[in-house]
């Protein structure tokens, strides 16, 4: 596999942007640092990507569309950082990347954006889908028109998309259940607060969590799943109602956003740190709650890769016909406590 600029950056202990400036002799960079980076790249066998020059010489114009949902949440903002980095690289190679943001989860809005991109002559689309029959049919119709689709963060099963980039959500839910089983005392109740019912990843995390915790701790009562729609206010209201109704509520697992609302509600009820909270995503806000002991565990899923990889996979597919190496490109499940940040 070809050596990437990101791998060189990690080996050199610098940012990817610094490597880019060193390898392309542009921007301000210390000459000694640039030379050290070039030596590391040479030892690693780095070969410059000639795709940009070839694309320009061919006179071809490639356009890649990216559709991101719940775009305002802290996690998706980190995904967007990866998308923007890939956009910069792809456009430097001669392609055009169009980003469309949707504030909530909506099949109708995604389909509308797809139609606009299709009418505009888009060659490939990366999207964060919802589990919806109409959207599945739309993805299949794109495949029939030879417009490849890559899904990221959440998948759409049994569709003609060529690849999914994101976490194995079922395994993530199981991992969270294993952690909850270790810290919960005998008996008690556990609440699951999820995001959207139409979000495949949210559903898979919930399923994995409930199945694993039920099998490993028969003494724990798992309450009915509640949905907060990635809204902190709703998540906080749910948590507050549940701790008042169930005095033995000992744990809360969030499959998506809503951590701030839950932590604030528990603090108001005098239960901060007493009700064990496990959540996903290494956002700045969540990390702060973890350090303060308001969250016991956070499960990371590499937001940057989920944004970066789909764009570059589509570029490689469209430019030289290179298919993704795997149908499921799972990101790592990272478990963090306040002791290993």
Residue 103, pLDDT > 50, answer: yes
64 in Cβ contact with 124 (< 8 Å)? yes
Average pLDDT, the chain: 91
**Averaged pLDDT for residues 18-44:** 81
Q: What is the mean pLDDT of residues 60-64?
A: 83
Confidence of residue 57 (pLDDT cuts 50, 70, 90): very low
Query: Mean per-residue pLDDT for 11-29?
Result: 77
Q: How confident is the model at residue 237 (pLDDT cuts 50, 70, 90)?
A: very high
Q: What percentage of residues in the chain have a pLDDT greater than 90?
A: 75
User: What pLDDT was estimated at residue 44?
Assistant: 87
Q: pLDDT confidence of 15, banded at 50, 70, 90?
A: confident
Comparing CA positions, the residue from 300, 302, 277 lying closest to residue 290 is 277
Domains 1-48 and 169-300 share a fold: no
Taking residues 200-226, what's their average pLDDT?
A: 96
**Cβ(226)–Cβ(189) under 8 Å?**
no
Tell me the pLDDT tens digit for each residue of 66-77: 999 998 898 999
- Inter-axis angle of helices 5-12 and 31-43, nearest 10: 120
Is the pLDDT reported for residue 268 higher than 50? yes
Band (pLDDT 50/70/90 cuts) for residue 60 is low
Lowest mean pLDDT among 9-18, 33-42, 121-130: 9-18
pLDDT digits over 104-146, tens only?
999 999 999 999 999 999 999 999 999 999 999 999 999 999 9
CATH architecture label of 169-300: 3-Layer(aba) Sandwich (3.40)
Read off the pLDDT of each residue in 199-228 and give the average, rounded to a whole number: 96
Confidence of residue 6 (pLDDT cuts 50, 70, 90): confident
Give me the pLDDT at residue 19, please. Answer: 82
d(CA 94, CA 233): 44
pLDDT over 90 at 278, yes or no: yes
Q: What is the domain partition of the chain in residue ranges?
A: 1-48, 169-300
Torsion angle of C-alpha atoms 316, 320, 321, 322, degrees rounded to 10:
-50
**Dist. CA 299–CA 317, nearest whole Å:** 31
Is CATH 3.90.226.10 correct for 1-48? no
34-41 mean pLDDT? 89
Average pLDDT over residues 42-57: 64
Q: Which residue has the higher pLDDT, 23 or 259?
A: 259
Beta bridge partners of 252: 191, 277
HSE, side-chain direction, 13 A CA sphere, residue 206: 21
Distance from C-alpha of 275 to C-alpha of 243, rounded to nearest angstrom: 9
């Amino acid at each position: 596999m070809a050596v990437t600029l990101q791998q060189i950056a990690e080996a050199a202990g610098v940012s990817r942007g610094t490597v880019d400036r060193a390898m392309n002799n542009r921007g301000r960079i210390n000459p000694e640092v640039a030379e050290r980076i070039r030596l590391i790249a040479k030892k690693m066998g780095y070969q410059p990507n000639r795709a940009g020059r070839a694309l320009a010489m061919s006179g071809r114009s490639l356009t890649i569309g990216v559709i991101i949902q719940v775009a305002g949440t802290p996690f998706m903002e980190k995904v967007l950082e990866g998308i923007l980095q890939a956009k910069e690289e792809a456009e430097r190679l001669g392609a055009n990347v169009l980003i469309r943001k949707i504030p909530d989860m909506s099949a109708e809005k995604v389909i509308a954006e797809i139609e606009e991109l299709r009418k505009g002559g888009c060659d490939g689309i990366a999207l964060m889908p919802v589990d919806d029959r109409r959207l599945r049919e739309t993805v299949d119709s794109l495949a029939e028109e030879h417009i490849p689709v890559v899904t990221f963060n959440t998948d759409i099963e049994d569709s003609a998309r060529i690849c999914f980039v994101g976490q194995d959500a079922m395994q993530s839910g199981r991992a969270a259940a294993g952690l909850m089983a270790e810290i919960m005392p005998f008996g008690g109740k556990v609440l699951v607060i999820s995001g959207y019912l139409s979000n495949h990843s949210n559903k898979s995390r919930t399923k994995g969590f409930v199945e694993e915790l039920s099998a490993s701790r028969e003494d724990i009562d798992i309450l009915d799943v509640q949905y907060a729609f990635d809204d902190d206010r709703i998540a906080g209201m749910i948590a507050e109602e549940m701790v008042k109704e169930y005095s033995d509520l000992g744990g809360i697992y969030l499959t998506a956003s809503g951590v701030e609302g839950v932590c604030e509600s528990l603090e108001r009820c005098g239960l901060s740190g007493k009700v064990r909270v496990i959540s996903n995503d290494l956002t700045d806000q969540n990390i702060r709650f973890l350090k303060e002991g308001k969250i016991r565990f956070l499960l990371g899923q590499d937001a940057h890769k989920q944004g970066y990889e789909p764009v570059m996979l589509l570029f490689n597919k469209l430019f030289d016909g290179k298919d993704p190496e795997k149908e499921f490109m799972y990101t790592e499940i990272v478990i963090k406590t306040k002791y290993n940040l």
